[in-house]
Amino acid sequence: MTTNEMHEQELNKKPKTQRYQEKKSASKEEKKKLVHRGTKRSFPIWLRLLLLICGIVVCFAIGTMVGYGVIGDGKPMNVFEKETWTHIIDLVEKEQ
């Protein structure tokens, strides 16, 4: 008998864990309860995605305000005006 076979026999002799024994002896309804235990989410995925999208929009707004107001020496609230964006687009297109 090889050492691997002896090791496997020792593992088989060890008692199973309590959770495994519960699953083995449980009925179908009890098995469903054991398997699905802890799967209820306290913070739904759709709410996570909504907060992620809102966070991205807020970070974009803050980033453009800092970029235009602090780095670009303009007024930070001017970044939300249409004229500002048309001016920026005109500057970018002229350089091509």
DSSP string, 1-20: --HHHHHHHHHHHSPPPHHH
Residue 14 vs residue 43, higher pLDDT? 43
Q: Please compute the mean of the pLDDT values over residues 1-11 and round it to a whole number.
A: 63
pLDDT of residue 62: 96
With a cut of 60, say whether residue 16 has pLDDT above it.
no
Whole-angstrom Cα distance, residue 78 to residue 69? 8
pTM: 0.53
Place of tokens 């007024």: 75
Whole-angstrom Cα distance, residue 85 to residue 79? 7
With a cut of 60, say whether residue 34 has pLDDT above it.
no
Q: How many CB atoms lie within 10 A of CB 76?
A: 16
Whole-angstrom Cα distance, residue 27 to residue 66? 62
Rounded to the nearest 10 degrees, the angle between the axes of helix 18-25 and helix 28-35 is: 140
